[in-house]
Amino acid sequence: MKVTLSIQRFNPERDKKPYRKEYEIDVPETFRILDCLDKVKWDIDGELAYRRSCSHGICGSDAMMLNGKNMLACQVLVKDFKKKYIKIDPIPSLPIIKDLVVNMDSFFKKYDVVKPYLIAKDQPPVKERLQSQEERALIDEAVNCILCGACSASCPSLWSNDSYLGPAALLKAYRFIFDSRDDAADERLNIIDTTDGLWRCHTIFNCVEVCPKDINITWHLSQLKKKCALREL
């Protein structure tokens, strides 16, 4: 099957601004977009830069914009696209390092802000910290986040205000605030209960549309809003 990839290219050492380059390739319809990029890089243009690691939707490194929607290149097949002319761009709102590779420093700084690790007051038990099935169910979806950044890069609230923590960091806050084994819920609620934190989310749902792990991020943020509104200060 013939497919044309229109890829945004940019080499800051050479180019004043990004431009598009087209590549026509012949591939099986079961090829993933990541396989197509590999084919371009290995057979046609070795300079093409993009991130990838696991190739199986686990590492979150190959989020990019395909025909205007943020997706993982390793999770979508050529046959999933009606037209075989596919536009490929880096995920928006982050500085481009080269071609499809963006600088995710600001994304991970915001992730760090919410203390994305277990904080427990008591000493670790001999075996694991137990929780009931009901307690675990509260974080079942949130633990599936692979930090691909597709959600934050698709959020208009973040496009218009770079200080906003963004959906991925807030989802991580949920993951620990609602974890029965964690003792730092109040500490994290103080961090996110701000105008540039949780309350900058205007329930636009773009994040939910693009999450490759089908996490209903907006629902999780609404639970955080309820928790903030009901807590005693």
* Amino acid identity at 81: F
Read out DSSP for 48-95? -----SSSSSSS-TTEEEETTEEEEGGG-BGGG-SSSEEEEEPPTTS-
Instruction: State the DSSP code for 141.
Output: T
Instruction: Output the smallest distance, CB 173 to ligand SF4, in A.
Output: 12
Q: Where are the beta strands (DSSP E) in 99-229?
A: 101-102
Task: Select the residue interacting with ligand SF4 from 149, 169, 184, 192 (CB under 6 A).
Answer: 149
Report the site for ligand FES in 8-37 (rule: CB under 6 A). Answer: none
**Per CB under 6 A, does 157 bind ligand FES?**
no
Residue 54: contacted member of ligand FES, ligand SF4, none (CB under 5 to 8 Å, by partner type): ligand FES
**Per CB under 6 A, does 80 bind ligand FES?**
no
Grouping H, G, I as helix, E, B as strand and the rest as coil, residue 155 is: coil
Report the helix count and the strand count for the chain, using DSSP H and E.
8, 7
Number of amino acids touching ligand SF4 (CB under 6 A): 17
Contacts with ligand SF4 by CB under 6 A lie at: 60, 145-151, 167-168, 171, 210-213, 215, 217
Contacts with ligand FES by CB under 6 A lie at: 52-55, 57-62, 72, 74
